[in-house]
Structure 1
Amino acid sequence: MQKFLNIARRKSKRIYVGKVPIGGGAPITVQSMLNTCTTDIESTIRQIRTLESLGVDIVRIAVPTLEAAEAFKIIKQQVTVPLIADIHFDYRIALKVAEYGADCLRINPGNIGNITRISSVVESAKDRNIPIRIGVNAGSLERDLQKKFAGPTLDALLASAMRHVDILDKLNFDQFKVSIKSTDVFLTIEAYRRLATEIDQPLHLGLTEAGGFRSGTVKSSIALGLLLMEGIGDTLRISLAADPMEEVKVAYDILRSLRIRSRGINFIACPTCSRQEFDVIKTVNVLEEKLQDVITPMDISIIGCVVNGPGEAMLSTIGVAGGRDTSAFYEDGVRQKQRFDNASLIDQLEIQIRKKAKLIEERNIIKTRVIE
């Protein structure tokens, strides 16, 4: 199994979204945002629970109207994962969702009205111990800053972030985190680098409107991966024009690849060539779908021939190396006597992986009890 790297994390203040710690050395959390209509309560709850099953730590939900705020009240009562209410322009909505138990408010203080309205929202958040996320986005930058800096430049993004931070500072409110996003990889990276030196609040990482599943994954991996390697970032969301479930999967893939945080199976598979003895691509795709519910961190290597197969298998929790008609099976780096029939390889692997996951979890429970 891979060991975690000891990346020097940027020091930041700790806040809590519900019971989930953000910043201050806490594990980097994974977020996603719902794409259901908030007033469609049944569909929204169903999507939240699906995201939970994939390991999401926090869910953001758009609340654009007072009607949506009433739906939020019902939704909040029926789920356990912390909910961030995403609000723009109307301070009354922020007050309502705070009353209804929002775990965090995603607002930009400057766009919800005058200082009296802003103060009322902040006071409500203080009274209920609700943090705020300031969300600066190149696509919705204030007009005066766009005019002053001739567009959504680095200086414009930083000026917007600090403008909102100053508002909360003057209201003596320090329970907040900040994001500063652009669709441009280099602008996003540099904006977070600069902001990280200006404030000690937790930073929410993201590349906004990153694109479709493939291109958005690539751009997000580059931008967020580089920042995380530099120790910048306390929580993240992968913003994809795709199913929100894919956002969670990609987020965990990034964290796992950087050896920062691991959940579920890490599949190691060859790109295939004419030497493959079974259909590697089909095997991996089917197993990824079948084993989404397995949360135990495991390395599973699926290699189609004996060139790299044994080497990869000896470094994995479970591995197979393709052979003619049957494939060699490895567990914890040791080749087992049994071989798997290639015709039923998927079913046999699923059985062994689930069996191994259960065994690992049972061992972990025993270790925990001994420590206690």
Structure 2
Amino acid sequence: MSMNRRRTREIRVGWVRIGGDNPVVVQSMTNTDTRDVEATVAQIRELEEEGCEVIRVAVPDEAAAEAVARIVSRINIPLIADIHFDWRLAVSALRAGAHGVRINPGNIKGRENVRRIIEEARARGACVRIGVNAGSLERDLLRKYGWPRPEALVESALRWLDFVVGDLGFENVKVSLKSSDLWHTVAAYREFSRRSDFPVHIGVTEAGGLIPGTVKSALGLGILLSEGIGDTLRVSLTAPPVEEVRVAWEILKAVGVRRRGLEIVACPTCGRCEIDLMGLYEEVERRVRGIRVPLRIAVMGCVVNGPGEAREADLGLAGGKGVGLIFRRGKIVRKVPEAQLLEAFWEELQRLLREESGSGEIRGLTSRSGELN
């Protein structure tokens, strides 16, 4: 499936190109104390393995800003410093090597302070995200609209773009317009995208825990992505950041925007299922978690849709009463007892992956013990 992407200006965060014809970029944010360099680097490396392409870290004080230099030197993706209230922290983080800063001009307090940040970013070739948020909108806009309506978010973003781009001549900018309300978020991004060609970072802020946050983010981001809106994204969850990245990729795959790693098709359990489908699926999912090859596999457990879905996948299994069939791109390759089904499927998947990789090694393949090769 090919989405009709909204054409935006191309910008850069470090070496990552954003907007234009470039793919949607997955971001996340650490939840470590940025001053704890070892913990922060370890978490970023874990996120890199899951497919995070740009990382944001909190910079609440000068010690955190100074830590940026030691973090940047040990990671492999661009780093964005998250700044609130104090413009001097943005300048310090940029001087320490941050590839970009996220600011909410509404709480930086004054155009002169924003100008200082922009001039430092310009000098260092860094990116600036103008991050408008419903929870910290400028007071005059709250008075004008009565509450943080989508129109208020858009007016705030355009106002600051006029200053940063129009008055200061700085164009390495992207914009976000976030609310915890899904529909307000969608409406704000739609209106902004109608009125500006600057790239946007999309997300539903304060989405919630793993399940409610995933649902809300999937709906909001899915709608926007399906309309071609979105150049970078973050799934904001009250959960470990690694889950944000996993969910982000699942949303991108489901909408058809990008593929990374295996897509697993599995049927829901029902009274027709005569094998331990849930246990089988969980073990398959655990073993394949690190695989990067974009294949479609099916784990099916009933006679209604099982054979058909398994046949349509690159590799599929369809279990029945005490036995199972393994399909490889439409053809049955093995019929085995239920007790041997998992290992037989695993052997066939390893064989297929080795053929797809063109070598004997498969990056990220999980062994029986759960360790990555």
Which category of TM-score, normalised to the shorter sequence, fits these structures? Answer: over 0.9
Rounded Cα–Cα distance in structure 2 between residues aligned with 1:52 and 1:159: 35
Alignment map for 1:49-64 (pairs within 5 Å)? 49-64=45-60
Matched, 1:74 2:70: yes
Q: For residue 254 of structure 1, report the CA deviation from its aligned partner.
A: 1.0
C-alpha distance in 1 between matches for 2:88 and 2:300? 57
Residue in 1 that maps onto 2:367: none
Aligned counterparts, 1:171-210, within 5 A? 171-210=168-207
Q: Distance in 2 between matches of 1:114 and 1:184?
A: 28
Aligned to 1:14: 10
- Per the alignment, residue 314 of structure 1 pairs with 311
The equivalent of 1:304 in structure 2 is 301
In 2: Cα distance, 1:329 partner to 1:290 partner:
17
**1:348 alignment counterpart:** 344
1:14, distance to aligned residue in structure 2 (A): 0.4
Q: Is the 8 A contact 1:294 1:354 kept in 2?
A: no
Q: Secondary structure of 1:9's partner?
A: coil
Q: What's the CA shift for 1:289?
A: 2.2
Paired letter, 2:262? I
Partner of 1:370: none
Residues 110 and 214 of structure 1, relative CA distance in 2, 3 Å threshold: closer
Deviations 1:252-310, CA, capped at 9 Å, x for gaps: 11111111110011111110122223211222222222221101111111111222111
Report the Cα distance in structure 1 between the residues aligned to 2:24 and 2:136, rounded to whole angstroms.
26
Q: Aligned partners of 2:350, 2:61: CA distance in 1, in Å? A: 45
Q: Deviations over 1:169-217 (max 9, x none)?
A: 2111111000101111111111100000111110111011111111111
Q: Is the 8 A contact 1:267 1:284 kept in 2?
A: no
Aligned pair 1:148/2:158, yes or no? no
Do the aligned partners of residues 211 and 110 (structure 1) sit closer, same or farther apart at CA in structure 2, a change above 3 Å counting?
A: closer
Q: Match of 1:255, as an amino acid? A: L
Per-residue CA distance 1:291-334 (angstroms, 9 max, x = gap)? 21101111111111222111011110110111232210011221
Task: Say if 2:317 and 2:325, in contact at 8 Å, map to a contact too.
Answer: yes
Query: Following the alignment from structure 1 to structure 2, what is the Cα–Cα distance between the partners of residues 191 and 361?
Result: 43
Distance 1:95 1:213 in 2: 34
CA distance in structure 2 between the aligned counterparts of 1:207 and 1:354, rounded to whole angstroms: 38
SS at structure 2 position matched to 1:73:
helix
Aligned to 2:205, the other structure's residue is in SS state: coil
| Identical residues among aligned pairs (%) | 44
Structure 2 CA distance, aligned partners of 1:58 and 1:340?
A: 45
93, 98, 102: which one aligns with 2:98: 102
Q: What is residue 294 of structure 1 aligned with on the other side? A: 291
Are the structure 2 counterparts of residues 127 and 335 from structure 1 closer, same or farther at C-alpha, using a change threshold of 3 Å? same
Runs of 5+ in structure 2 lacking a partner?
A: 362-373
CA distance in 2, matches of 1:76, 1:254: 28
- Contact 2:275/2:301, CA 8 A, preserved across alignment: yes
Equivalent residue, structure 2, for 1:237? 234
Q: Distance in 2 between matches of 1:76 and 1:135?
A: 22
1:91 to 87, 92, 97: 87
1:280 to 277, 286, 289: 277
State the one-letter code of the partner of 2:140: D
- Partner SS state of residue 48, structure 1: helix
Task: Give the residue type in structure 1 aligned to 2:300.
Answer: I
The reply to whether residue 265 of structure 1 matches residue 265 of structure 2 is: no
> How many equivalent pairs are there?
359
Give how far 1:113 is off.
4.0
1:57 Cα deviation from its structure 2 partner: 1.0
CA distance in 2, matches of 1:140, 1:353: 50
Instruction: Write the distance in 2 (CA, Å) between the matches of 1:355 and 1:89.
Output: 55
Structure 2: distance between partners of 1:89 and 1:183 = 21
Per-residue CA shift, 1:203-258, capped at 9, x if unaligned? 11101111111111111111111111111111111111111111111111111111
Q: Distance in 2 between matches of 1:19 and 1:342?
A: 49
Q: Select the residue among 115, 121, 128 that pairs with 2:124.
A: 128
Distance, in Å, in 2 between the alignment partners of 1:191 and 1:242 is: 26
Contact 2:68 2:97 in 1 (8 A): no
Q: Cα RMSD over matched residues?
A: 1.6
Mapped to 1, the partners of 2:41 and 2:13 lie a distance apart of 19
Are 1:109 and 1:167, in contact at CA under 8 Å, matched by a contact in 2? Answer: no
Is the partner of 1:61 in helix, strand or coil? strand
Where does structure 1 lack aligned partners over 5 or more consecutive residues? 366-372
SS of the residue corresponding to residue 92 of structure 1 reads: helix
Secondary structure of 2:312's counterpart equals: coil
Paired letter, 1:164: W
